[in-house]
Amino acid sequence: MLSSTPSIHTVCRITSVLVLIAVLVLSFLPSDASDPMRLFSWNSVDLSHVVAYAALAGAALLSVPKLTLWQGIGIVFAISLLGLAIEVLQPLVGRTTSVVDFTENEVGVALGIAIFCLYWVGQKIRARDTRPAGE
């Protein structure tokens, strides 16, 4: 019998695509149009970058069942490269390239990796605790 509840991998795939679209759209809006996102600033750190890239990296890593180390490295590298490409291309739409924004993106990627690792460790502990005694 098939379960009607989607797996975490399916939910994370959908989340990854939606967050990616949001990141791309918001990154290429003219700077005055994205000013409301500055509401997510704290001590000159734009938390919207950190949150967006953490969500993107975490969801992308969790979207792959039985993720291998090399797949994980590839996903993280691709997301980091995306952040760099966005920063380099933003002057084409009247925005500025910002090393600070890129750094905030990378902090978000690192946070996404941490979220994935916490989930992975939790799964390993749960699997260990559900094994029958004597194994």
For residues 65 and 32, the answer to whether their CB atoms sit within 8 Å is no
38 has pLDDT over 70: no
CA distance 128 to 57: 27
pTM of the model: 0.83
Segment 120-133 shows an average pLDDT of 81
pLDDT at 107: 96
